Amino acid sequence: MPEHATTRTRTETDSLGSLEIPADAYWGIHTARALENFDISKRPISVYPDLVVALAMVKQASARANREIGVLDAERALLIDRAAQEVISGRHHDQFVVGVIQGGAGTSTNMNANEVITNVALGLAGREKGDYAFLSPIDHTNRSQSTNDVYPTAIKVGLSLTLQSLLVELDLLRQAFLDKAREFHDVLKVGRTQLQDAVPMTLGQEFHGFATTLGEDLHRLRENAWLLHEVNMGATAIGTGITTHPDYAPAVLRHLREVTGLDLATADDLVESTSDTGSFMSFSSSLKRNAIKLSKICNDLRLLSSGPQAGLGEINLPARQAGSSIMPGKVNPVIPEVVNQVAFAVVGADMTVTMAVEGGQLQLNAFEPVIAHSIFQSITWMRQAMWTLRVNCVEGITANHDRLGAMVGSSVGAITALTPFIGYAAAAALAKTALLTGRNVADLVVEAGLMPRDEVVKQLSPARLSGLEAITAAIPIIDTSLTPTQD
Q: Active-site residue numbers?
A: 324
| Closest of 271, 99, 303 to residue 189, by C-alpha | 303
| Closest of 122, 207, 217 to residue 163, by C-alpha | 217
**Is 363 in contact with 271 (CB distance < 8 Å)?**
yes
For residue 20, the SS3 value is: strand
Assign residue 261 a region (left: φ > 0; alpha: ψ between -120 and 50; beta: otherwise).
left
**Is 6 in contact with 23 (CB distance < 8 Å)?**
yes
Counting other chains too, the contacts that 376-379 makes at CB distance below 8 Å and 24 or more residues apart are 376/48, 376/50, 376/51, 376/100, 376/158, 376/159, 376/162, 377/345, 377/349, 378/284, 378/287, 378/288, 378/291, 378/345, 378/346, 378/349, 378/350, 379/159, 379/162, 379/163, 379/166, 379/287
User: Who's near 114: CB < 8 A, 6+ residues apart?
Assistant: 30, 59, 137, 138, 141, 142
CA 478 to CA 483: how far, in whole Å?
9
Interior angle at CA 389, CA 328 and CA 323, nearest 5:
10
Cβ neighbour number for residue 454 with a 10 Å cutoff: 9
Output Rg (C-alpha) for the chain, integer angstroms. 31
**Is 294 in contact with 386 (CB distance < 8 Å)?**
yes
CA 90 to CA 161: how far, in whole Å?
14
The dihedral over CA atoms of 140, 145, 146, 149, expressed in degrees to the nearest 10, equals -150
Beta-strand pair 196-202/230-231 = unpaired
The number of C-alpha atoms within 13 Å of 44 and in the hemisphere containing its C-beta is 17
CA 405 to CA 407: how far, in whole Å?
5
Helix (H) or strand (E) holding 310: none
For residue 344, the SS3 value is: helix
